Amino acid sequence: MQSLVWLVRGICFLNTMLGRMFGWFSVGIVVVCFTVVVQRYVFAISYVWMQDLYVWLNGAMFTAIAGYALLRDEHVRVDIFYRTATVRTKAKVDLFGVIAFLLPYCWVIWAWGLPYVQRSWRFLEGSGNTGGMPGLFILKTFILVFAVLLALQGLAIIGRSILVLAGREESLPPTLRYQSGKE
């Protein structure tokens, strides 16, 4: 069980670090977008590559932090019943949800995304806009990064659920434990 605890902690650490790092892209998005607007409306100039840049930063950020959002339980959830459920019930629901829905979803994204990304790399695809940024193939790679980080966080949720159902939740740090709705 200790190796399972280390696996859960390791995956959560990875997604936390990537989430915090890529979260800073939001500052870059605001700065670049502000610059584009000022250039266009104050100086009457525009650079297509800058318009590409803030859209691409946005895409990279949201795909890279999806696992972090799942870790922090900050994704969309209809939790009418889940919120008030016991810790064991939450663990069962999460275990089922990850196995039945999340991991197959990640597999579909990977299976359909891989040829798309490979083709982009073969051509070293760039922006479709004249004067746009090169390196679109790098951005498209984030599709696969998204699938992997989300699947890894799903495995961490499975591990956490197993630990809870085995009565070993106390072996996890408090930040990774379920919030109790009722006992």
Q: Which residue has the higher pLDDT, 173 or 21?
A: 21
Q: How far apart are CA 170 and CA 125, in angstroms?
A: 49
> Is the pLDDT reported for residue 180 higher than 70?
no
Left (φ > 0), alpha (ψ -120 to 50) or beta: where does 34 sit?
A: alpha
> Is the pLDDT reported for residue 183 higher than 70?
no
Please calculate the CA angle 142-147-151 and round it to the nearest 5 degrees: 145
pLDDT tens digit sequence for 60-105: 999 999 999 999 988 777 777 888 888 999 999 999 999 999 999 9
**Spatial contact of 170 and 90, defined as CB atoms under 8 Å apart:** no
pLDDT at residue 153, as a whole number: 97
pTM of the entire structure?
0.89
Q: Where are the domains of the chain?
A: 2-176
